[in-house]
Structure 1
């Protein structure tokens, strides 16, 4: 009878690890007495590696389940075949690391950087006394099941046939990544970037793509059956070779029951009559790319889950409009009235909101009750918000990276966990703003 029992890995403790990390830092600095950290085939589960520089460490086949790597750097490290089940790796840098065959089930990699990392399948062979070889693990594919990769950077990463069903992949940067043969069925990839990524033979069936950018992705024989592609950004040619059976696709304006002009006229009557005449404009889930709405009154209109990319809303009225989950890449909202608007989970990358009003909206007949603009988890990367009024707006969890906020009014705004990395905040008003958990905030 074959004995399937594996020899237990040598256990290391926290004291040994802390000393090893200290010597590794000397090694990285080129100081005398430095020794590279070597944890290959050792058991370091549940140990604390957080807030350390651990670049180039060797951890092949290591048992690292439930270890804490939060905010540490593991750039160019060798984690081939390592068990990282349930590991805490928030904000961890794994740039150019080797994660082939690693187990990342239930790991938390929120906000981690895996740029150019190798996460393809792989397995380790060990030589037995009789000269033959046996695999340490039978699974050949890297497991992503249950992983949290929210906001992680996987640009240029090699993922290959990774398996990550029911995975949180929201707002992940997959730009130019290799996902050939990956299995990500029933995962949430809302807000993620796939430009230039190779998804050949990948399984993304049942996935939610709200606000995701698939433009320019290679989708040869990609399984998108049953996927929700509402408010996703792509060209029709991008899906030509993909399987989209039962997929939920954006609706075309040609399927509207009335012309767009009549819809806008009816909406104006609805506004002016306080709802007694006309009809509220409902353009939810429609593909409205490159439409000119300049100067149009869309107050309280229903625009959720629509694709508004490259549209013009110059000086338009969008106060109290529902724009949750919209895709609005490079859209012009300059001088628009967006008081009290709902923009939760919207993707406004590259949009212009110069002089835009996103302040509270006073509701008539309610003794002065006000509704604040809602931009929770909104992507405002590379937007122009110069002189915009965001006072009292809720920006919880928003990304405002590389945005221009010069002279913007953020007084009393809720900016909890906002990412301001690279943002220009010169002369911005942050009086009374709630900045708990925000990062990248540099004030001049």
Structure 2
């Protein structure tokens, strides 16, 4: 339970908190369970504060320092948290629904099980944050820094992650239906069992991602136009309705998948991509609804064995010098 004197102190505003901190440099402000909805504590220093189950609904907290604070179960719904500092804060089960968090810093914060539906986190920094089981559906994470984040079972449905930085992030069983990841960087990311159904992955960068694993990923209707997916693993991925126009699939593992029901395969690069069937390309021609560019694909590429008859790869047909 919060200390009554601390709650009164907070309600008197930032300057009173500053004066208290000067006289109590080793004490932690304890506002546990307090209802401070609508309060204005912009630029206040609340580092190391005890704020679990505290309510800051509709509060104005721009520029507030909440680094290393305990915020378990706290509610910041519709709060203004622009440029707020949550570095290393414990934020499990926190509610950030519709919070305005542009340019906020959440480096090393623990947001597991957080509810951040419709929150605005454009240009925010969440490097190494723990987002396990967090819900960011319909959130705006444009240009967000999510490098080395744990996004295990995280919900990103309908979220905007345009140009987001997800280098070395772990996306395992993540839900990203209808998410916009256009221009996002996922190099060296670990991507397993992610649902990208109807997602926009235009221009996404997975190149040089030795851990890029899209095994069993649902990529139905995903836009992979111009995507660099070099050496990625698509084993058993669902690509029905996906647009692969001009995608770079060199060295990819395409075993146990079909391109028959994709929207377009025009201009894709397939050098040394692995397949599991000699008829991988021939099957396109007999598909009920052949993808755009399938004729060009079968003319330019063929399946060959790489020493071992069971090791099949795609190779470009040699150009006839007489043509």
Which residue pairs with 1:144 in the alignment? 136
Which residue pairs with 1:191 in the alignment? 183
2:222 aligned with 1:227: yes
The Cα shift of 1:190 comes to: 2.2
SS at match of 2:172: coil
The Cα shift of 1:247 comes to: 1.9
For residues 110 and 236 of structure 2, the distance between their equivalents in structure 1, rounded to whole angstroms, comes to 27
Query: After superposition, where does 1:38-49 map in structure 2 within 5 Å?
Result: 38-49=30-41
The Cα shift of 1:236 comes to: 4.9
Q: State the Cα deviation string for residues 210-249 of structure 1 (Å, max 9, x = none).
A: 3332332343433322221223332253434543332222
Which residue pairs with 2:99 in the alignment? 107
Normalised by the length of structure 1, the TM-score is 0.44
Q: State the Cα deviation string for residues 247-268 of structure 1 (Å, max 9, x = none).
A: 2223369xxxxxxxxxxxxxxx
2:240 aligned with 1:245: yes
Normalised by the length of structure 2, the TM-score is 0.59
> 1:74 is matched with which residue: 66, 71, 76?
66
> 1:91 is matched with which residue: 71, 83, 86?
83
Aligned-residue Cα RMSD (Å) equals: 3.7
Which residue pairs with 2:317 in the alignment? none
The Cα shift of 1:24 comes to: 7.1
For residues 204 and 242 of structure 2, the distance between their equivalents in structure 1, rounded to whole angstroms, comes to 15
CA contact (8 A) 1:207 1:227 kept: yes
Closer/same/farther in 2, CA of residues 249 and 17 from structure 1, 3 Å limit? farther
For residues 54 and 222 of structure 1, the distance between their equivalents in structure 2, rounded to whole angstroms, comes to 42
CA contact (8 A) 2:11 2:36 kept: no
For residues 170 and 207 of structure 1, the distance between their equivalents in structure 2, rounded to whole angstroms, comes to 12
Q: State the Cα deviation string for residues 152-189 of structure 1 (Å, max 9, x = none).
A: 22222333223232222222222223332332321222
2:10 aligned with 1:18: no
Closer/same/farther in 2, CA of residues 180 and 69 from structure 1, 3 Å limit? farther
The Cα shift of 1:111 comes to: 2.9
Closer/same/farther in 2, CA of residues 122 and 54 from structure 1, 3 Å limit? same
Query: After superposition, where does 1:7-406 map in structure 2 within 5 Å?
Result: 15-18=11-14, 21-22=17-18, 25-26=21-22, 32=24, 35-121=27-113, 141-215=133-207, 216=209, 217-240=212-235, 242-251=237-246
CA contact (8 A) 1:169 1:192 kept: yes
The Cα shift of 1:25 comes to: 4.9
Relative CO higher for 1 or 2, CA cutoff 8 Å, sep ≥ 6? Answer: 2
For residues 235 and 56 of structure 2, the distance between their equivalents in structure 1, rounded to whole angstroms, comes to 43
For residues 120 and 48 of structure 1, the distance between their equivalents in structure 2, rounded to whole angstroms, comes to 27
Closer/same/farther in 2, CA of residues 152 and 72 from structure 1, 3 Å limit? farther
SS at match of 1:42: coil
Deviating beyond 6 angstroms after TM superposition, the runs of 4 or more aligned structure 1 residues are: none
CA contact (8 A) 2:214 2:232 kept: no
Which residue pairs with 1:421 in the alignment? none
- Structure 2: 5+ residue stretches without partners: 116-131, 249-265, 271-323
The Cα shift of 1:72 comes to: 3.3
SS at match of 1:190: coil
Closer/same/farther in 2, CA of residues 192 and 69 from structure 1, 3 Å limit? farther
Closer/same/farther in 2, CA of residues 252 and 102 from structure 1, 3 Å limit? closer
CA contact (8 A) 2:246 2:269 kept: no
For residues 159 and 180 of structure 1, the distance between their equivalents in structure 2, rounded to whole angstroms, comes to 7
For residues 51 and 180 of structure 2, the distance between their equivalents in structure 1, rounded to whole angstroms, comes to 30
CA contact (8 A) 2:221 2:239 kept: yes
CA contact (8 A) 2:45 2:64 kept: yes
CA contact (8 A) 2:66 2:84 kept: yes
